[in-house]
Structure 1
Amino acid sequence: MVCMNLVRDQNLPRTHGGTESFLDRDASEALHFILPLSHDYPGIERWFRSKVAPGLKDGTRHLLRVERDGKLAGLGIAKFDGKERKICTVRISPDYVGRGIGLRIFDGLLKWLDTDQPHLTISESKIQSFERIFDWYGFKLTATKSGLYVPNRNELLYNDQESD
């Protein structure tokens, strides 16, 4: 028997037309961990609740956690829905940057996606943090879109099949 601990996020607003959105403990912790990315990705909570959480249940999304000393040190989210193989989100806790956790997350997500050239996007302002990893894996910059998530900010698209 599988027991899921469902928790209501006390610090987060109700979503989905006023109905409460419940997440299991791991998903709730993951959501809180990625909320600092909302500066670059407004609406990240809504995306997580409406896309990631259901995708985790139906198997089209994968959440990879890396813990150190009993706390979440890094997290990655990938999507494979039969059409698109995408690395959606990767965040490393500032306390653990430069310790190989990013590579571990990318390796795990690539394995789950069963590809070495997944689609991904990144804010131009964050590329310096990921450039070495992208070079390591041979990811190809295929397009730049302005205002994709934040007005007047460029989002860099890698391995985008539609841009080839």
Structure 2
Amino acid sequence: MYTRELKNIFINLSEIEPEVLRRYMLNEVGEKAKDKLYNYLKDLSESYPQFENWFYSVVIPEVERKKGEREIIIVFSQSAHKVVLTGIAILKRRAQEKKICTFRVHEDFRNLGIGTELFEKCFEFLGTRKPIITISQNRKDMFESHIRAYNFVETQMLEGYYTQNTIEYVYNGFLVDI
């Protein structure tokens, strides 16, 4: 079991130089960094059927263009001599929409403050403490404490938006592409 003795490193993927990224990624996830990041999140395709296509065709190209509209924040945690990928957030920052698109903390590292720190990094990048965030009904419980802590306001309940017979809860705004 991990304790709060972790040293957490937060990295904005678009802002780091290739050598720095390579050092962390080779240490943690190996040569195929994009694939390893995707594999960390791929179970989300159960709730979001187009997740893989979106990740590779939208997110990665937008982050690589470095225009500041899309970001991936990754969290590495170091305990003793081991460095582990413990969290990822995918963000969208546009004039009409500031959104946390994906938010994940590794299940072995939950309740250690990493999620709270990662939310703070998201708010910093997005320039708001009330970004739009959508949460599938089957993952809502794991976000409940943060929803309350940050006073997120439920603004939409969309049945079947991403997956048939599943409710997607929208907080702090409205999805513009309905």
Provide TM-score, normalisation by structure 1.
0.80
> What pairs up with 1:1-164 in 2 under 5 angstroms?
2=18, 25-58=32-65, 59-68=68-77, 69-161=82-174
Structure 2 counterpart of 1:63, one-letter code: I
| Deviation of 1:162 (Å) | 6.4
Give the root-mean-square deviation of aligned CA atoms.
2.1
Greater CA deviation, 57-66 or 111-120? Answer: 57-66
Higher relative contact order, structure no. (Cα contacts within 8 Å, ≥ 6 residues apart): 2
2-structure distance, mates of 1:53, 1:105:
20
User: Which letter does structure 1 place at the counterpart of 2:46?
Assistant: H
**1:50 corresponds to which letter in structure 2?**
S
Segments of 5+ residues of structure 2 without an aligned counterpart are: 1-16, 23-30
Amino acid aligned to 1:41: Y
Note the C-alpha offset of 1:43: 1.7
Q: Deviations over 1:91-118 (max 9, x none)?
A: 1111111111111111101100000111
The structural deviation recorded for 1:25 is: 4.5
- Cα distance per residue 1:24-62 (max 9 Å; x no partner): 844332211110211111121101011111120233111
DSSP 3-state at the match of 1:125: coil
Structure 1 counterpart of 2:8: none
Moved more, 58-67 or 134-143: 58-67
Q: Structure 2: how far apart are the matches of 1:162 and 1:126?
A: 19
Post-superposition, which runs of at least 4 consecutive aligned residues in structure 1 deviate over 2 A? 1-5, 24-29
Q: Which residue identity is paired with 2:110?
A: V
Distance 1:151-1:107 versus aligned 2 partners, 3 A rule: same
Identity across matched positions, percent = 31
Q: State the one-letter code of the partner of 2:91.
A: A
SS at match of 2:139: helix
Q: May I ask how many residue pairs the two structures share in their alignment?
A: 145
SS state of the match for residue 42, structure 1?
coil
